[in-house]
Amino acid sequence: MKKIFSFFTIFSLCLLMSGNINAKAATTPPDVESEAAVLMDVNTGEIIYGKNENKPMAPASTTKVMTALLTLEKAKLDDKVTISKVPPTAEGTSIGLKEGEIYTVNDLLHGLLLESANDCAEALAEHVGGSMDNFVKMMNERAKALGATNTNFVNPSGLYEPGHLTTAHDLSLMLKEAIKNPTFVKICRTQVYKFPPSNLDGNEKWVSTKDELIRKNSHFEYKYALAGKTGYTTLSKHTFTGAAEKDGHVLIVSMLYSQSKQNYFPDAIKLFDYGFNNYEPIKLYSKGDEVANYNVTKSLNIPLVATKDVYYLVNKNDYKPNISEADIKTYLAPKLQVKNANLEKASFKQGDEILDSTVTVKGKDLCGLKLASNIDREYKGLLPSSTAYKNIKPFVLALSIAVVSIFFITLRKYLNFKKKQSTIRQKYNNIAQ
């Protein structure tokens, strides 16, 4: 009997150990072939997985994410662009633009993001920046503003040039900003696009997506794929940056210097699945929610609202299965540390950012959060405001006139009284004589 019990005990332990080994394997980041890679959570900006993520490398046509971002920020989709003599000479992939052709910014963006056309990149650069050099300057300034401090662009297309470099981390930051624009996402998700007939020869141009995570019925189609951009040159090898969304959770994968499509598309899917299966962003504060109060004086209390959503990324494996988001939030115990400011003499409108704060989770700083007033407040000081002064001016004028009138009436009565006294005194003196 003891032998039977021992056998089942050992067998059960083996099963448990087997289960633990499998669980551990499922929670381990996958190996990727590319030389550099990043898996980023969009809500928090946190890097879930990184491999040489800060190593500057050639980005190839993933450069066009920044070209598209700047174009969408600086131009209108229906702007007409007349092709100069420069874009038709662009090396590498093109859609065959001709000098004198006229297309809209929208047309050229489809050529840029779907076909990865270098002639479209140069046409948009000239339209937005006035010149290629100025547009490249704008690209670098925008990259730095996004925190992409290890990036340096030399051209708008991604053609290999010395010094044209970015990192997997920086590339993720740029895509993170680009997918905030619905037009960028819409174009990236387009399967096929037809240009209007050329104004020169009537020919129609067709472009189609090269992102096999998005392309319908491709071998690597990924149902959660949201947007992305591929790239390739012989020196930079294959590059990729893409976003995927599952149940509202958005992740970004960026990879540089991959040897083939057969490697980087499956690797991207593995990284996305790893992120979705093991991590979850917990919303701590919602934009517009009243999150704190600030006492300016004993009689003045300012309600404060969050100016953005704040998330905290949790590893699902740290919690019991099926635990609710509310329970996790309770465990995290988020708090706001509002920085003091002298608002006693300040005037502001509802929605104005008036205070800074720090979000803490389990006693550790998470991020900064700007707080806005949820009420209007006008400080009038010791003197009445101009509006109030206008309202009381007629009253003050009437009061002044009344006071002056009373003064003169009183003075007149006093003088008359003195005059009567003088007359009586004079009569008395005459009688006495």
Active site members? 61, 64, 116
Q: Which residues contact 64 (CB under 8 A, 6 or more apart)?
A: 112, 113, 116, 121, 156, 157, 158, 229, 231
**360 pairs with which residues across the strands?**
335, 365
- Annotated binding-site residues for substrate read 229
- Give dist(CA 222, CA 244) in Å, integer: 9
Q: What DSSP string describes 319-387?
A: S-TT--HHHHHHHH--EEEEPP---TT--B-TT-EEEEEEEEETTEEEEEEEEEESS-B----SSPPHH
Asked if residue 151 lies in contact with residue 165, where contact means CB atoms within 8 angstroms, the answer is yes
- Annotated binding-site residues read 229
Q: Which amino acid is at 163?
A: G
Sheet holding 335-338, edge to edge: 290-297, 300-306, 364-373, 353-361, 335-338
- Give dist(CA 289, CA 374) in Å, integer: 10
Alpha helix segments (H runs only) across 189-324: 261-278
